[in-house]
Amino acid sequence: MGHIKQFQTWLEIAVKVEHDITNCTCKIMYKKPNGKTGEWVANPINEALGIIIFSTFTDTTLDITGDWIAWSKITNQAGKVAEGDPFIFTVYPNDKLIK
């Protein structure tokens, strides 16, 4: 596919945190190009390797075009929090959709 398009719903974002995340709460935090922040609840797909994934996109999830900043946030059972390094992904206009 190549580019992430505005309003795209068939997409997965996977993040490797490189720590065992067994029994942890996993989130992907984000900052939209307009400065608004939020979080997506992520599911571990390999707890031992620390790989989480978010794939529950709706047609309003990726509503803003431009560069998004995202990072993992892991909370263990004791309430200790670890946040990963930020990464950037770009959402491009979807010229084929009329909304």
Q: How many domains does the chain have?
A: 1
23 lies in some domain: yes
Query: Rounded to two decimals, what is the model's pTM?
Result: 0.89
Q: What are the tens digits of pLDDT across the range 47-95?
A: 999 999 999 999 999 999 999 999 999 999 999 999 999 999 999 998 8
Q: What are the tens digits of pLDDT across the range 3-56?
A: 999 999 999 999 999 899 999 999 999 999 999 999 999 999 999 999 999 999
97 lies in some domain: no
8 lies in some domain: yes
28 lies in some domain: yes
- pLDDT level of residue 97 (50, 70, 90 thresholds): low
99 lies in some domain: no
Measured between alpha carbons, how far is 64 from 91 in angstroms, rounded to an integer?
A: 7
Domain harbouring 31, CATH code: 2.60.40.1220
44 lies in some domain: yes
36 lies in some domain: yes
Measured between alpha carbons, how far is 35 from 30 in angstroms, rounded to an integer?
A: 10
Nearest Cα neighbor of 26 from 69, 6, 5, 55 is 55
Domain of residue 25, residue span: 4-92
The CA angle 21-50-29, to the nearest 5 degrees, is 85
Question: What pLDDT is stored for residue 95 in this prediction?
Answer: 80
Residue found under tokens 């529950």:
56
